[in-house]
Amino acid sequence: MEQQHQRQPLAGIKIVDLTRVLSGPFCTALLSDLGAEVIKVEPPGGDEYRHVGPFEQGESALFTLMNRNKKGVVADLKNPGHLARLLELVREADVLVENFKPGVAERLGVGFAAIKAINPDIIYASISGFGQQGESSGLPAYDLVVQAMSGIMAITGEPDGEPTKVGESIADLAAGLYASWAILAALFDRQRSGEGVHLDIAMLDCLFSLMPTPVAQWMFGGEAPGRVGNRHPLSTPFGSFNAADGRVIIAVLNNRQFAALCAVMGRPGLAQDARFGSDEARTRHEPALRDLIESWLSGHSVASAIASLAAAGIPASPVLDMGEVLARARQGERRLLRTQRHARLGEIPMMTQPVRASAWASPAPATAPALGEHDAELFRP
């Protein structure tokens, strides 16, 4: 039984990683967490994330997080000798991942056609802002640009405030996550078909696909939705409310939960009030219902309100700051942060993929590579 828990589902899969910054490195980090051998190929100056802080003894935290478990080599793809030794690596690879601006990989001699010519079974994943073809394909695409163009900024923020970015580079991360999912599907497909494939992953497409709620608001003839602040656009009460000493999240999705909330508030008759008789009606009368809830909460601390709501089976929570979240992430069985032995920094906390599997190994993540650390191992003289 103990041996069963040592399996790594991607053991034996070799991935050549030509990506940099966030979307591609996040994709390949997820695959390396599952046992794939990921060979990160960097230009002589290194991945841009090596030069983005915060730093500890010259080591970038972002680079370290996104390049765990990888081997690292240096190759100047404009140098014919370097390109030749990279292509030798690619001949034996299962997957190549790149996130160059469309057209750059071809100019460097590592486009899909060139790679397929030497490795017909290759799974070749291209991550870009707007896809490999089309009028927008050549546009530069940072996360903020894609957030702005996806509509997610237009629906985030207070109704009378500015469009607001999500507090993380969500477009990059969505593309990396979808790319890893697509690569896994392609590996499975290749087992059955015997053929490789070119995967075209656009950040804009991936972020749009994570917005079913605004699409649902629009799809049956409604207007395009706008910002509603910290509440749900379709369900009420489902948002953030003021208590005596902070804010409480209350998430009510059906009439049963609403009746329970009314009872906790000492106002059971509200459940029969025509203004609040359905989710749609409650949403139409959200301001009035908010006033009633916050009137009740004004006499309660966050902790006492949550205790009362939880006892009644009503989903509720405090709004934690990142300091509290990080402290919790280092504790408990889920271990969202795990200790890594870094060759230069000693013991440091490290993110890893969050899925738990009954029969897979879950080793502590290995350190990100130093620039060119595995040149001697992986490049033939």
| Type of residue numbered 135 | E
Task: Report d(CA 251, CA 235) in Å as an integer.
Answer: 9
Catalytic residue among 5, 82, 198, 232: 232
Instruction: Report residue 327: phi and psi, to 5°.
Output: -65, -40
DSSP helix/strand/coil, 156: coil
342 - beta bridge partners? Answer: 346
Tokens encoding 16? 């050549």
Judge whether 232 counts as a catalytic residue: yes
For the chain, the first-to-last Cα distance in angstroms comes to 43
> Rounded distance, CA 46 to CA 49, Å?
8
| Amino acid in the structure at residue 264 | V
Q: Give the type of residue at 256.
A: R
Q: Tell me how far apart the alpha carbons of residues 27 and 175 are, in angstroms, rounded to a whole number.
A: 8
Residues labelled catalytic: 232
